[in-house]
Amino acid sequence: MVQDKRGFVGWAWLVLWRSALCLLLLILALLLVLRFVPPPTSSFMLQSPYPVSQHWISIDKLPAHVPLAMVASEDQRFVDHHGVDFAAISEALEQYDDGRGLRGASTISQQTAKNLLLWPGQSFIRKGLEAALALSLEVIWGKKRILEVYVNVAELGKGIYGVEAASQHYFAKSARHLTINEAARLAVLLPAPRKRDPRQLTPYLSQRVTWVERQMRQLGPGYLAPILN
């Protein structure tokens, strides 16, 4: 009887490991395909309670200040880190230990992984998966592709995903023609895009737009050139 139980446990572990390996290989194959093919949808789009509007636009067709606004607002060390900002995570964990809740500390690479493949919410399990996928994206995709997918799948309104759909919805024009101020207005919709409107800024969001524009100037128009060229 004991031998039968041990045999069953061994068989169960073997099935578990093989299933995990198959899932890992499937995810890696998917990421490899999406390095070259625009994602037809995302996990967040599939979970959206609103009708989805999303229009893919190549990052090469966007003015440089559009992705720069996102970087200035969300992840100013994007060019330098390898997918995970360990200093920011350490600070977030210290705040969690102090009883202040578990905050984001996610890089753009992590946010891209989350938006594309995971689910909303804050938990250590999801954060761990997010970090692992972000590191994989850095290796398989590289910075330019990560940023390109991010600006195309980030939620920027109720059912509105990506800067092209957002620009058409809010400003009635393509993201190719966004001004610096308009790009900053879209960037401050995060992390609460369903509650914010770039055309009707609260005093807080107006200050936030000013801050993003200042950060963009400090980073400089050529900040993203090493990864975009």
What's the pTM?
0.88
Residuewise pLDDT in 10s, the chain (229 residues): 555 666 666 666 767 777 777 877 888 899 999 999 999 999 999 999 999 999 999 999 999 999 999 999 999 999 999 999 877 666 766 665 556 555 557 999 999 999 999 988 778 888 888 999 999 999 999 999 999 999 999 999 999 999 999 999 999 999 999 999 999 999 999 999 999 999 999 999 999 999 999 999 999 999 999 999 8
Residue 104 confidence (pLDDT): 57
Residue 168 confidence (pLDDT): 98
Residue 5 confidence (pLDDT): 61
* Phi, psi (deg, nearest 5) at residue 99: 85, 20
Alpha carbon distance 14, 72 (integer Å): 46
Name every residue whose Cβ is closer than 8 Å to that of residue 57 and which is 6 or more positions away in sequence.
Answer: 151, 152, 162, 163, 164, 174, 175, 176
Residue 27 confidence (pLDDT): 86
- Do residues 180 and 212 touch, judged by C-beta distance below 8 A? no
Residue 69 confidence (pLDDT): 98
- Do residues 133 and 111 touch, judged by C-beta distance below 8 A? no
